[in-house]
Amino acid sequence: AQSVTQPDIHITVSEGASLELRCNYSYGATPYLFWYVQSPGQGLQLLLKYFSGDTLVQGIKGFEAEFKRSQSSFNLRKPSVHWSDAAEYFCAVGPRGYQKVTFGTGTKLQVIP
């Protein structure tokens, strides 16, 4: 069965600092990988996805993520965080050819001035 681990429950960064959110997955083959963002009381918005090809994926709002097969990781990065990036971030994994995905427990990002 597939699983996703987001080891950091809460992260605080200063505005303008770089950000890396960790995501590790467990799956027997190359999965589909996603990062979503959720503002309080709202639905989830897709930031980026990896299906195949280039392992460095660019997303919206200046985010990027890198798929590292050898480390079973799909970490999310942003070079300079803005106060509006404060939200909860979810990593998700899904098997190819199948719609069901598994979500991590989320990382809550706080941005301080």
Partner 1 sequence: DGGITQSPKYLFRKEGQNVTLSCEQNLNHDAMYWYRQDPGQGLRLIYYSQIVNDFQKGDIAEGYSVSREKKESFPLTVTSAQKNPTAFYLCASSLTGGEGYEQYFGPGTRLTVT
Q: Which residues bind partner 1 (CB under 8 A)?
A: 9, 32, 34, 36, 41-46, 49, 51, 90, 94-101, 103-106
Phi, psi (deg, nearest 5) at residue 73: -130, 160
Please state the closest distance from residue 105 (CB atom) to partner 1, in A: 4
Phi, psi (deg, nearest 5) at residue 104: -75, 175
Which residue lies nearer to partner 1 by CB, 50 or 78? 50
Which residue lies nearer to partner 1 by CB, 69 or 113? 69
Please state the closest distance from residue 70 (CB atom) to partner 1, in A: 22
Residue entry with tokens 């505005």: 15
Structure tokens at 103: 């979500």
Are the C-beta atoms of residues 32 and 96 closer than 8 Å to each other? Answer: yes
Please state the closest distance from residue 91 (CB atom) to partner 1, in A: 9
Which residue lies nearer to partner 1 by CB, 100 or 113? 100
Residues 6+ away with beta carbon under 8 Å from 39: 87, 88
Please state the closest distance from residue 56 (CB atom) to partner 1, in A: 18
- Other Cβ atoms within 10 Å of 101 Cβ, number: 16
Which residue lies nearer to partner 1 by CB, 106 or 111? 106
